[in-house]
A = this chain, B = another copy of it.
Amino acid sequence: MTRNAWNCVAILLLVLLVGIPLAQAQAIGLPEVSKQTIECFDCHKKQNPVIYQQWGASKHFRANVGCYECHGAEKSDPDAYLHYNQTIATLVTPKDCSRCHSREVSEFTASHHAKAGRILGSLDNVLADVVEGNKGMRTMGFPEGVSAAAVNGCWQCHGSQVKILPDGKPDPATYPNSGIGRLNPDGSEGSCNACHVRHEFSAAQARHPDTCGKCHLGPDHPQKEIYEESKHGIAFFSKEDEMNMDNNKWIVGEDYWAAPTCATCHMSQTRTQPVTHDIGERISWNNRPIVSVRPEVADAKMGLKGKDMPWQVRRQNMMDVCSACHNKNWVDNFYIQYDALVELYNEKFGKPGKELAALAKPLKPYDAPFSAEIDWVWFELWHHEGRRARHGAAMMAPDYTHWHGTYEIAKNWYTEFIPTLTEMAEKGIHSGDAEKVAAGKALLAKIEEITNTPDHMWSVDKMDPAEKAKRDKARDEFKARYKE
């Protein structure tokens, strides 16, 4: 939605009068609290005192940016409604925020974060809508129903597509929602208060790892848990007091040296880089898909300008962050270790798994995604376990790399994935249905082929004899030591 031009004029006037170049005029503030905002206080200070107090603790207070400056709306806005003589909107969108914070919104809008709402049609979306859900939640905006699993689950992180009801208020299935990729009625994507939490909107809060943990945790992307195990997280949580989190300038090595947070490495200013709200500029692997890809590849698919930023540049950006605390040799070696783990996963499990899963498709009793056990088994292998291993290595949390990662991948592969596929292949071969017979044979052949590669042949006792002898000796020595 657009707002009346008064605020912008005020800021512009300030800029002109005080002679500040426009480029630096971001978020300068207003000369006084507006009369409209003072009217808001009349009720909300009493009814919802915490909102008022949190605002009082915010930088917005000092800048005289109050309720109306953000919630005020034009009558023509799709989500405007009359509220005690003022035209306001419930939602404050990135477009609204951009009136003062244009650079931040522009960076954010170019990021994957801003596109998190585009999951319609994804496997995750099928899960929430169909497999876990139903159309039992009926609201004015969803007369044919919507899945409460999507509303309470996916949308809370990914963002809802906000529907505005005839009275100008958001449909209850779509709001409350502060998902980072929220699709707003004004066409903007995202929700700044996903991280800059209402109604203090502080940078300190957004720099705190727990804030990222609202979404980056759980079986499929446990970054918060990974961080907590890492030396980085250990240092942070034991030295939070020394982090100078509230400082305006917050440069690692200048303003704090106790620990890095998620923001330190992925977003915040360094001695040589500016702060960025595009979370991908320092990431050199995209570990989301079945097989890890370089981020510029992912950006190209999404039409983001990051398509022109090769991973080597992004890695240099991150290495610059690392150098505040680690010497070059250490950082170089770390990346050799991390890359090797990504490659191990990709080559041993990701790529062959993808081939096998594709060959199994014609053998499913029903077409629907997640209608056969193999769908779940394969999904967890790459989407949950495979990501955990790669993310664990990226952030140096060995339990996530190994026990929650490669251990679970291997267990799944050898005790679930391959046996389930084999059973499907054999069932197909004995089905009498020519198509299924052919599909079964093709799948079985591929299973045989992959099982007999160096990566997997240990599982059918075909390890290289010299290697086996060496291992047997080590095992005997270990057993002798522990007499188990």
A: which residues have CB within 8 A of B?
Answer: 44, 47-51, 53-54, 57, 90, 118-122, 125-137, 139, 147-149, 151-157, 169-170, 172-173, 175-176, 178, 197, 204-205, 208, 210-211, 213-215, 217-220, 228-231, 233-235, 237-239, 252-254, 257, 271, 289-290, 298, 301-302, 323-330, 332-334, 336-338, 340-341, 343-344, 347-348, 366-368, 370-371, 373, 376, 389, 392-393, 396, 398-407, 409-411, 414-415, 419, 454-455, 458-461, 463, 471, 473-479, 481-484
Contact = CB atoms under 8 A, between A and B. Distances in A.
Given A301-B483, A332-B172, A340-B136, A459 B398 contact: no
A172 B155 CA distance: 42
Given A48-B326, A152-B341, A234-B213, A333 B172 contact: yes
B343 A148 contact: yes
Contacts of A461: 366-368, 371
A152 B398 contact: yes
A403 B328 CA distance: 39
5 contacts: A50-B325, A121-B479, A135-B454, A157-B398, A370-B410
Contacts of A328: 47
Nearest to A155: B398
Nearest to A216: B399
Given A47-B327, A50-B252, A218-B400, 8 more contacts: A51-B325, A120-B474, A126-B471, A130-B463, A152-B396, A172-B333, A214-B229, A302-B481
Contacts of A376: 411, 414-415
A131 B341 contact: no
A479 B119 CA distance: 11
Nearest to A325: B50
Contacts of A368: 458-459, 461, 463
A484 B290 contact: yes
Contacts of A119: 478
Contacts of A127: 407, 410
A315 to B, nearest CB: 15
Nearest to A478: B121
Contact of A235 (B173, B178, B197): B197
A215 B230 CA distance: 9
Contacts of A471: 121, 126, 129-130
A197 B237 CA distance: 14
- Of the candidates A136, A153, A338, A415, the one having the most CB atoms from chain B within 10 angstroms of its own CB is A153
A219 B403 contact: yes
A325 B48 CA distance: 5
The 8 tightest CB contacts between A and B, nearest first, are: A153-B402, A121-B478, A121-B474, A156-B398, A148-B340, A218-B399, A132-B406, A172-B333
Contacts of A393: 148, 152
A110 B119 CA distance: 47
A315 B298 CA distance: 46
A231 B214 contact: yes
B302 A44 contact: no
A326 to B, nearest CB: 7
A54 B253 CA distance: 10
Given A176-B330, A415-B376, A398 B215 contact: yes
A323 B48 contact: yes
B197 A211 contact: no
A211 B229 contact: no
Contacts of A411: 376
Contacts of A324: 48-50
Contacts of A134: 344, 347-348, 454-455
A406 B229 contact: no
B302 A344 contact: no
Contact of A53 (B128, B257, B329, B396): B257
A231 B197 contact: yes
Given A50-B324, A154-B398, A173-B337, A234 B214 contact: yes
